[in-house]
Amino acid sequence: MHEREELVNLLKDAEKVAKALQIRPFSLYLLGGCACILGEYLDRATRDFDILDLNYPSEIGKVLRFLGDFDLLEYESTPIAPSFKKRAIKLEGFEYIRVYVLSKEDIVVSKIIRLDEKDIEDIDKLMPSCNKELINKIIEEILNRKDFFETKKKSFLEKLEIFRVKYDV
């Protein structure tokens, strides 16, 4: 789990910066490959952080820069269920900032919109330990979101049929 240690160390450095700059403590919700590694769902290489943008104040950018390669994913354009925080897992070892990884099921559903080769690889490895009933509930919540951009919802629906057939969900 060498990759996991490196990701944790980057987050710890960001935490030190936040504290040194006296930026108010905040929460980070991680998804994608980094969440899979940090949550110990998968063991693969990645260096980028996918962070759900919770309308952070601009000063948080000073902290996030220390993570290196990161993407702030707008909630409105990301297939995430409104209830994601209930399932998110808090990573231990952080004293100033709160770092969460999304559940396996939330991560799987968030990958449906693209379904590229790497996403399919990850989903193949995650699905055997996922709760399909929960995946269906998450999908339903996303489809009922009024704030999910229509163009993104359309892309999600197109890939959803492929996902449902491939994984019998």
Full 3-state SS string of 123-145: HHHHHHHCCHHHHHHHHHHHHCC
φ/ψ of 29, rounded to 5, equals -110, 115
The DSSP call for residue 82 is: T
Say what the pLDDT of residue 45 is: 74
Residue 157: predicted pLDDT: 97
b/e map 17-35, b = 16+ CB within 10 Å:
bbeeeebeebebbbbbbbb
Q: What CATH number is attached to the domain comprising 18?
A: 3.30.460
pTM: 0.94
pLDDT of residue 7: 94
Would the pLDDT of 92 be above 60?
Answer: yes
The yes-or-no verdict on residue 2 having pLDDT over 90 is no
The mean pLDDT value of the chain amounts to 95
**pLDDT at residue 43, as a whole number:** 85
Q: What is the pLDDT of residues 28-77, one digit of tens each?
A: 999 999 999 999 999 887 778 999 999 999 999 999 998 989 999 999 99
Nearest Cα residue to 69 out of 53, 57, 51, 55: 51
- Token pair of 60, please? 């948080």
Token pair for 50:
């996918």
- Percentage of the chain modeled with pLDDT above 70: 99
Encoding tokens for residue 151?
């163009």
Structural domain count of the chain: 1
pLDDT at 125 exceeding the cut of 80: yes
**Residue 1 pLDDT > 70:** no
What are the helix and strand counts (H, E) for the chain? 8, 5
Positive/negative CA dihedral, 18, 22, 23, 24: positive
106 contacts 31 by C-beta, under 8 angstroms: yes
Full residue range of the structural domain in which residue 25 is found: 1-167
Predicted confidence band of residue 111 (pLDDT cuts 50, 70, 90)? very high
| The pLDDT value given to residue 44 | 80
Please report which confidence band the pLDDT of residue 6 belongs to, taking 50, 70 and 90 as the band edges: very high
> What one-character DSSP code corresponds to residue 19?
H
